[in-house]
Structure 1
Amino acid sequence: MIDVSVYPSSWESCSVGEAGEAIVGQQRTPEATHGNGPLPYLRVANVHDDALDLNDLASMRFTEVAKERYRLRDGDILLCEGQSRELVGRAALYRGEPEEIYFQNTVIRFRAHDEILPEFALLVFRAYQYSGIFSGIAKATTNIAHLGLTRFKELPFPIPPRATQEEIVDTARSVQSSIDASLSGLASLISTAMRMPSEMRDLVLLGDRAIGEPQSEDPTLPGKWLTAADIVRSDAPIVYGITQPGPEVTDEGGIPYIRGQDLRDGYIATNALRHTSPAIAEKNARAQLATGDVLLGIIRSLRVAIVPEELDGAHITQGTARIRPGEEIDSSYLAHWMRSDAVQAWFRSRLRGINMPRLNLRDVQILPVPVREITEQVRLARILDVATEGLEQVIADANASAKRLRVLERDAVESCAYGAVAWTITNRIEPNRQRELAQLAMSRIKAASTMEDKSPKPRTRNPSNSVPRKKTTQQSGAEQNQVLAVLSQASGPVTPEDLYRNLELEDSAIDSFFVVLRKLSQEGRISISRPNDSDVHIERIR
C-alpha cells in the first residue's frame, strides 16, 4: 500500500473507488451466446503498457443490458486484473477507437470522475504498476497474480487541482514522446543491424549471381562450384550425431554433446551443454567433433556455428549435422556462406514436415558451395568477421541504450504522477491556493460518491450459469462441502472468481480456497478446464 505522504502536501487524496467507477468486464462462458453479437472485446492480451493491441480481438455476445454496462467510452482506463505478478495492473487508455468495443472480466475498467483527467489517472496507475504497488496487493494463484477489484478500489488516489493535473499530463506527454521516439529509433537501428550481416554475405560471396550448379562452369566466379559433400575431408563425411545420448553424466568423465538448442547464430552456448558417457561417445565416434568443424542445425532452426578449440572431442545429437572442411575450404568462409540469406532460403525450401520441419543429410550434402582460392576465402571471411562483429556491437549498445531508456521511463512516470516533477509543478502555485483548489475538487468527488451510495441499485436477473447468493457473514476459510454445494447449484461451469464471490469468502481466504480446489480436483470430485488462454472453468463431477 502506498503512503499518501509521498503526494505533495497541498494535494488531497481519496480512494480509487471514489476517484472513479471501477468494474470488471463480462465473463466469457459457453452460455454467453444469447443477445446481440458476436461483438469484439478486450482481454489481458490486448492491454499493454500505455497501449492497446487491437490486432487480435476476440468476440462474444452481449445482451442489451450488458452492452450498456461493458461498452467502452473514450477516456476509459483498462488494467490487467490477472497477469504475472510483475505485470499485474498494466494499464492503457482507450481513446475511442474502434468505436464499439467491450471488455472481459480479466480486465478492470476505470472511468474517472469529472474532476480527474483520464491521462492523469493513467499516469498514477502506471506509477503504481512500475513501483510494485499493484504487485504488492495482488493475490497469486499457481502462476497468475490477481489485482482484485476490491483491493484496487481501496488504494489511495492523489487529487491535485485540475490545472495542476493538466500541466503534469502535458509534461509527462512531452517526456514520453521523447522516450518513445528514441526507442523507435533504436528499434529501427537494431532491426537494420540484424539484417545487414546476411545481406552482406550475399553481396560479398554471391554478388549478383544466383547459386550455381555444382561442377558447372561459371565465368563470373573466380573459382568453381562444388557440393558440400565434395569439400569435406575424405575421412570425415557429413554426419549427424548421437541418437540416444543416455542420462546426464555429472562426473568429470562425461563427454559434452551439442544439441540443436545449443546452437546460436554464429556460436555455441557452452554454458548449458549436457554430457554423455564415454561408452556411448565411443559407439558414435564417427560424429566426434574437431576444432574448426562447421555445425548446422537441421531441425527447425538452421543455425550455423564453428566448433571452438575447447570443444574439440565433443559430440553432437541427431538434430545437428557436422561438416568438416577439407584443405581447400576455410571454416569461417564456409560458415559465412551457410549463414547467407541465399543459402538459408535454399535450405528452407527443402525442409520436410510441419510440426518438426527438418533437413535430410542428403540436402546438406548437395548444397552448392562457391570454392575460391583459399587465400581469397580467408580474406573475404575476415572482412565479414570484422563487419559482423561491428554490427553485433552496435546491436549490443542499442539494446543497452533501450534498457536505460525503459528505466528512465519508469522513473519519469512516477516522478510526474506524484514525485519530484509533480512537486515542482505544484510549487509554482501558492500553497494555500493550491490546497483550496484541491479541496474543492475533493468535495465534488465526495459529493458524487455520496450520491451514488444513496441511489437505488437496479435489480438484474441472474445469468443462467450463476449461483444465487445468500446474505451471510463473510467466511475466513473455504471448506470442501461448501464448494461442492455451491457448484451443485450452478447450471454450468463457473469461474474461480464467481465461485469465490458466491462462497462469501474474505480476501484473506484466497490461499485456502485454492488448496481446497486442488484437493477436490485430485480426488476427481470437480473438473477444472481451460477453454482458452485466459479463462478457467470449474464444474462439479456428478
Structure 2
Amino acid sequence: MSDVGLPRGWVQCRLGDVIAYGSTDKFEPDEIAPDAWILELEDIEKDTSRLLHRKLFSERQSKSTKNQFRKGDVLYGKLRPYLCKVLKAEQDGYCTTEILPLRPPKEVDAGYLFHWLKHPTFLNYVNAMSHGMNMPRLGTDAGKAAPFVLAPLSEQKRIAGKLDALLSRLDASRRHLDRVPTLLRRFREALFSAAVRGVLTSDWRSEDDPQLAGTRPISGRPAKTIAETTPQKSQLTEWLDELPTSWKVLPASDVVRQGADIVYGIVQPGPKLQSGVPYIRGMDIVDGKILVDQLLHTSPEIAQRYGRSALQGGDVLLGIIRATKVAIVPESLTGANITQGTARFRPSDLICTEFLAIALEAPETQRWLHAHYRGIDMPGLNLADVRRVPIPLPAPEEQVEIVRRVESLVELADTIEAKYHAIRARIDGLQPVLLTRAFRGELVPQDPDDEPAADLLERIALSRQSTPVARGRTKSQGRSELRPKAKSLADTIAAMSSDDFTFDELRQAASGDYESIKDELFAALADTNSGVAQFFDAGSGSMKIRRVSE
C-alpha cells in the first residue's frame, strides 16, 4: 500500500496491522448477568450511529452466544455493512456476534478508529468485499485486510475531537430538520379535517352571503341516520352533527353515479404481460398519485370479465386492504382496471371529484374506515361498509372553494417538503466530505513534533510479538479450548454423522475459532455449489444446516 498523498508522518496500512480484528470474548446466555447490557444490531441507527435502544439481558432473554465488549471499545456491525452501524461503547456489555468489538491499542485513538470505519474509502471496500446475497457480511480475513490510515497519535486525537464537534452539529441539524415531515403530516391532516368540517371555508360562507343565498343546499339524510352497530363506532360520526347548517351528509353509495356502484376489481389478473390492459394495485398509489410507470398489465379477455370495474378519468380510488390510500384516476388511464384490493368511486353530479378525494382522505373518514376493518393478518374493508361511509356534502359552489384552498395549501406544503429533502441531502453529503478532509490531514493543523505514525506501527508490531493477542477464554473459564486448525470446514461437514446438523454441532466437530468457522460457513452457504444449505427445522423450531448432494 502506498503513502503517496498522505501528510508527512502518516502511514497507510491494513486494519489488521493495528487492530486484533475478529478476536473476541464469547459468552453463553447462562454466563451473562440479568442486569448486563445486551446490544443488538437493530439498536443502532444506520449511518448516524445513534443508540436507539438500551436493553438488559433480563429484558431480552437472549438464547444465543454473545461477544463481550468493554467501555472504550469500538463496536462494528459486520452484517450488511452498507448500513454503517458503528458505535463507541460507553460502558461494558455484550452484543450479537454480528457486531465485532474492536479494542484499539494505546497507539490508536478509539474516536479516530470510530470515524475511520465510517469513511467512504472503508465503506467502499467493505461493500465490495462482503459475501452473501440477502444478508451480506464482512469476513474476518477481509476485515483484517481492510485499508487504514494511521496518523500520529496526538493528531488522531485532534482529528477525532474536531470530527466529534462538527458531526454532532450535523446530527443536531438533522434532528431539528427531521421534525419537518411530522409537522407537514400534521398540517395536511389538520387541513383536510378543516376542509370536511366546514372550518376552512367559514369566512367564505359569511363573506359570500350571510344568508347563504349563494349556495344550493343538498337534500340528503342527516348524519344521525347513518347508524352504527356499537356506541364506540357511533362516536366516529359525532363530528358530523357540528357541520354547517347548509351541509348535508350522505353515505358514499349515494354520491356516486347511478349505474356505477362502488366496486372492487380483478381478483386474478393472470400472468404479467408486457402489454394489455393496465391495472392498479394498492402499492401503485403513493402520496395520492398513481405510479403509472410501474403498472402491470392483464389480458383484454380478463379485463372484459371485470368490465364493471373499468376506469374513467376522474374516478376516485380507495385502498380497501391494509392501507386506505386515495388517488384520482387521470384521463390517460381511462379503460384501465383495478384489483380486488382497491375500490372505485365514480362521482355523481352531487360531488366533484377532488372534493370526494379530500373527503375520503380526511382523518375523520380514515378513522371511520379503520374502525371497520375486518381480519387481523390482512385487515380489509367489506364493500358494504365502504358504501355506507358518511360523506359530508356542502353546496357545489363551496366544494369548488374548498378544493381551491386545499390545493393551494397542499402546494405550499409540497414546496416546503421539497426544500426539506434538498437541505437534508446537503447535510447528509457533508459527513463524507468532512471525513475525507479529516483523513487527508486537512481538518486540523499538523505538528512536526508529533511522533510519526511509522513509529506507532512499529511499536504495535513489537507489542504483538512480545505479548500475543488472547481474547478467547480457556476451558477452565467455562469455554472449550481453541484447537489448532487441522482440517477444512468442508472436510468437517463431509465427516458429520448426519446430513442435518446445527451450527453448535458443527462447532464441536470443527477445528478453529468461532468467528473463522462462522465466516467460512456463511461463505459456503452463499456458494450454490458448496454442497451445503440452510433450512428451518419445524420440529426443533430452529435453523439447521443440511449437507446436500452435488
TM-score, length of structure 2 as denominator length: 0.79
Secondary structure in 1 aligned to 2:434? helix
1:61-80 matches, within 5 Å, as: 70-80=67-77
1:496 deviation in Å?
A: 8.1
1:94 deviation in Å?
A: 1.2
CA distance in 1: counterparts of 2:463 and 2:259, whole angstroms: 87
CA distance in 1: counterparts of 2:326 and 2:471, whole angstroms: 70
Secondary structure in 2 aligned to 1:213? helix
* Aligned residues of 2:29 and 2:63 also touching (Cα < 8 A): yes
* 1:204-251 CA-partner distances (Å, limit 9, x unpaired): 321579x94358986734221111111111121111112222233434
1:43 aligned onto 2:34: no
* Aligned residues of 2:473 and 2:481 also touching (Cα < 8 A): no
1:16 deviation in Å?
A: 3.1
CA distance in 1: counterparts of 2:405 and 2:89, whole angstroms: 51
Taking only aligned residues, the RMSD between alpha carbons, in angstroms, comes to 3.8
Corresponding residue pairs, total? 503
Secondary structure in 2 aligned to 1:78? strand
CA distance in 1: counterparts of 2:429 and 2:183, whole angstroms: 24
CA distance in 1: counterparts of 2:499 and 2:308, whole angstroms: 67
CA distance in 2: counterparts of 1:497 and 1:395, whole angstroms: 53
Sort the Cα spacing of 1:366 and 1:457 in 2 relative to 1 into closer, same or farther, 3 A. Answer: closer
Secondary structure in 1 aligned to 2:38? strand
1:50-61 matches, within 5 Å, as: 50-54=49-53, 58-60=60-62
* 1:468-495 CA-partner distances (Å, limit 9, x unpaired): 84544x76xx75x542215669995338
Which of 309, 312, 319 is the equivalent residue of 1:290?
Answer: 312
Sort the Cα spacing of 1:161 and 1:25 in 2 relative to 1 into closer, same or farther, 3 A. Answer: closer
* 1:43-66 CA-partner distances (Å, limit 9, x unpaired): 33334432333256744379xxx9
1:93 aligned onto 2:88: yes
CA distance in 1: counterparts of 2:109 and 2:51, whole angstroms: 19
Secondary structure in 2 aligned to 1:301? coil
Sort the Cα spacing of 1:540 and 1:276 in 2 relative to 1 into closer, same or farther, 3 A. Answer: closer
1:127-146 matches, within 5 Å, as: 127=119, 131-138=123-130, 140-146=131-137
Sort the Cα spacing of 1:130 and 1:23 in 2 relative to 1 into closer, same or farther, 3 A. Answer: closer
2:212 corresponds to: none
Sort the Cα spacing of 1:515 and 1:280 in 2 relative to 1 into closer, same or farther, 3 A. Answer: closer
Which of 157, 160, 164 is the equivalent residue of 2:151?
Answer: 160
Structure 2, unmatched stretches of 5+, are 201-221, 227-239
1:452 aligned onto 2:474: no
1:366 aligned onto 2:388: yes
Secondary structure in 2 aligned to 1:302? coil
* 1:344-390 CA-partner distances (Å, limit 9, x unpaired): 11111110100010111111111111111111101101111121122
Which of 299, 303, 306 is the equivalent residue of 2:325?
Answer: 303
Which of 400, 418, 425 is the equivalent residue of 2:444?
Answer: 425
Q: What residue identity is the alignment partner of 2:15?
A: V
Sort the Cα spacing of 1:374 and 1:143 in 2 relative to 1 into closer, same or farther, 3 A. Answer: same
* Aligned residues of 1:18 and 1:449 also touching (Cα < 8 A): no
Which of 212, 229, 234 is the equivalent residue of 2:258?
Answer: 234
* Aligned residues of 1:212 and 1:218 also touching (Cα < 8 A): no
CA distance in 1: counterparts of 2:518 and 2:333, whole angstroms: 59
* Aligned residues of 2:39 and 2:55 also touching (Cα < 8 A): no
Q: What residue identity is the alignment partner of 1:378?
A: V
1:402 aligned onto 2:402: no
Structure 1, unmatched stretches of 5+, are 522-526
1:524 corresponds to: none
1:115 deviation in Å?
A: 2.8
Sort the Cα spacing of 1:379 and 1:152 in 2 relative to 1 into closer, same or farther, 3 A. Answer: same
CA distance in 1: counterparts of 2:199 and 2:290, whole angstroms: 32
Sort the Cα spacing of 1:198 and 1:494 in 2 relative to 1 into closer, same or farther, 3 A. Answer: same
1:81 aligned onto 2:78: yes
Percent of aligned positions that are identical: 27
* Aligned residues of 2:158 and 2:444 also touching (Cα < 8 A): yes
* Aligned residues of 1:494 and 1:538 also touching (Cα < 8 A): no
CA distance in 1: counterparts of 2:79 and 2:269, whole angstroms: 42
1:193 aligned onto 2:195: no
Secondary structure in 2 aligned to 1:291? coil
* Aligned residues of 1:194 and 1:395 also touching (Cα < 8 A): no
Single out whichever of 444-453 and 395-404 deviates more from structure 2. 444-453
* Aligned residues of 2:24 and 2:68 also touching (Cα < 8 A): no
